[in-house]
Amino acid sequence: MFPFCTRGRNDFNHEYKSIRYIVSRRLDYRWGRSRNDDPNHFLGHGYAYLISSKLGMELAGKHKTFYNRGISGDRASDLYARWNEDTISLKPDLISILIGVNDAWRTMNGEPSGVTDRFGRAYRHLLEETREVMPDTGMILMEPFILRTGATVEKWEAWEEYIGQYQKLAQGLAEEFGAVWVPLQQTFNDALKQADAAYWLWDGVHPTAAGHELIARQWLSVVQNSPLAIV
C-alpha cells in the first residue's frame, strides 16, 4: 500500500497540499516511510519517491506535503488494521493505494496467514470508513500486477487467476467509490516489448528501479489528467 497523502486542500482552487501513498508488500523499501524527520529517507526509494520528487519540484511554491505509509509485506487486512493511525489521523486530501500482491503471495505459498482470503472485505471496509470520515478526500486505486518470471513461474496460471480476480475487484471498488483507477498490468505487459520481465519486476512481483519509474510515469499520466490532478 502506498499512501500518497496531501494535506490542506484549498476549497476555492482545489489545490491538494497533503498527499499520502499506501503501498503494500515490499514496495516501501523499508526506508523510514515518513515516520521520522529525515528528508533523505522518509519517502522510500520507489515510485512514491519518484512521484513526490517530480511534483514537489514542479510545485515548490505550493508547499505540498507527501507521506509514504507503505509497509513491506502488508496485506489488505494489515492495511485496514492500521488505517486509523496511518491514514485517517493525517487527514489527507488525497490518498493513493496499491495493495493485493501480498494477499496472493501468502495464499500461493500456503502460509497460515493466507488461508482466509480477506482482500475484498478488508479493502471495502477501509474505503467505506474513509468515505464516511473524510468524504472530500480524493482516492486513487492502483492495479496490482505481476509478470512471469522468478517467483511466479512455477504456478503461473494460479498467480494469473488470483491477481486477475484482485484486479477486477479493485477496479470495481474504484468505480463504486468514485476513485481514480490507475491500470498497471497492461503497462507492464507492454514494457515486455522493450525488455524481459525480470528487467521490470526482478522476481515477477517486486519492481526494479526501471519498474518503479514505469509505475511513476503511469501514475502521473493518469492522475494528472484526472479530476484529482495535483496542481
**For residue 41, pLDDT beyond 80:** no
Quick one: average pLDDT of 69-78?
80
Classify residue 151 by its DSSP letter. Answer: G
**pLDDT tens figures, 106-121:** 888 776 654 457 889 9
Residues 6+ apart with CB under 8 A from 219: 47, 51, 96, 140, 142, 182
Nearest to 170 by CA among 144, 137, 134, 188: 144
Rounded to two decimals, the pTM is 0.86
What is the four-CA torsion angle of 168, 7, 21, 210, rounded to 10 degrees?
110
**pLDDT tens figures, 59-72:** 999 988 888 877 77
Phi-psi region of 111 (alpha: psi -120 to 50; beta: other; left: phi over 0): beta
Most confident of 9-23, 73-87, 212-226: 212-226
End-to-end Cα spacing for the chain:
23
129 neighbors 172 (Cβ within 8 angstroms): no
